[in-house]
Amino acid sequence: MDARIDAFRSTTKQNKVNTIGALGHLSSLRVLHLHSNQLRALEDTMHELRRMQQLRVASFFLNPFCQEPGYRHYVVHSLPPVQILDRREVKRQERISSFQMFSGEHHSVLQRVAFGRRAMLLPMETRHRTEARHVPTSQ
């Protein structure tokens, strides 16, 4: 594999790479070029890269997982620091829709809080009665 890896940039393109292995430990990486390889496991790849908090530019195009529905949104959601993905800037609206798409429950809670609505909770007396029913009694 012809790869150049240093503290800021990794270029591993056109090498038939099918897993990224231990690249995730390179937490200072800012630029990652993995396009034109054979990466198929989108979730595994994003899981491995999630610790790269300095990553600003990433390219994965021409990998099999790029054909998966929602690929770009999933990557934007999984790698929030990335500003350029596959040679295209990640726009604010794209970040918002990615967040909504992959953080549905979390997003609805934030929406309720942001707009002053409260989550539907049982009244305090009802919660105490419900909890009391589930408390085991000693004999």
pLDDT (0 to 100) of residue 35? 87
pLDDT (0 to 100) of residue 25? 78
CA angle 98, 67, 80 (to 5 degrees): 30
**Residue 101 is assigned to a structural domain of this protein:** yes
**Residue 46 is assigned to a structural domain of this protein:** yes
**Residue 127 is assigned to a structural domain of this protein:** no
Residue 33: how many other CB atoms lie within 10 Å: 19
Tally the domains of the chain. 1
- pLDDT mean by block of 10 residues, the chain; 139 residues: 42 63 79 90 92 93 94 95 97 93 64 51 44 46
Domain that residue 93 falls in? 4-105
**Residue 134 is assigned to a structural domain of this protein:** no
pLDDT (0 to 100) of residue 1? 37
**Residue 120 is assigned to a structural domain of this protein:** no
**Residue 125 is assigned to a structural domain of this protein:** no
Query: pTM (2 decimals)?
Result: 0.65
**Residue 61 is assigned to a structural domain of this protein:** yes
pLDDT (0 to 100) of residue 86? 97
Return the CATH number at 52.
3.80.10.10
**Residue 130 is assigned to a structural domain of this protein:** no
Paired with 28 in beta bridges are none
